């Protein structure tokens, strides 16, 4: 991932984005950039994931070979869980 791609991704996303070097889970010889999205404005996890995908897909040459979504607590009584609205989604590229 180039510096310009990182700048463009940060400019096109509403989330706070951080980058880290990593290796492909299925092949440790392949270096990838891990991109973490912290989204405090998107109302649902599904929308946050979709927004992250769309931001990455908008940059030519980037792809998403993997997705990791942390477990989310279940809402009590079918309502809001009253917890944090922060959604975090991590993709590797």
Query: What does pTM read for this prediction?
Result: 0.60
Is 60 exceeded by the pLDDT of residue 84?
no
In this prediction, residue 93 has a pLDDT band, given cuts at 50, 70 and 90, of low
* Closest CA relative to residue 13, chosen from 60, 59, 52: 52
Instruction: Dump pLDDT digits (tens) for 50-81.
Output: 888 888 888 888 887 767 777 778 776 555 54
Residue 38 CA to residue 60 CA, distance in Å, equals: 22
Residue 21: its pLDDT value, please?
92
Order of strands, sheet of 27-39, starting from the edge strand that comes earlier in the sequence: 16-24, 27-39, 87-92, 66-68
Residue 20: its pLDDT value, please?
93
Between the alpha carbon of residue 23 and those of residues 10, 20, 33, 50, the distances in Å are 22, 10, 8, 24
Phi, psi of 42 (to 5 degrees): -75, 130
Instruction: Dump pLDDT digits (tens) for 1-32.
Output: 889 998 988 888 888 999 999 988 888 998 88
């Amino acid at each position: 991932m180039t510096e310009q791609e990182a700048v463009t991704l940060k400019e096109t996303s509403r989330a706070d984005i951080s980058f880290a070097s990593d290796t492909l889970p299925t092949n440790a010889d392949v270096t990838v950039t891990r991109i973490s999205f912290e989204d405090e404005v998107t109302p649902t996890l599904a929308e946050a994931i979709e927004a992250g995908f769309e931001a990455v897909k908008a940059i030519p040459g980037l792809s998403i070979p993997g997705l990791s979504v942390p477990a989310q607590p279940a809402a009590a009584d079918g309502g809001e869980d009253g917890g944090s609205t922060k959604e975090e989604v991590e993709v590797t590229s």
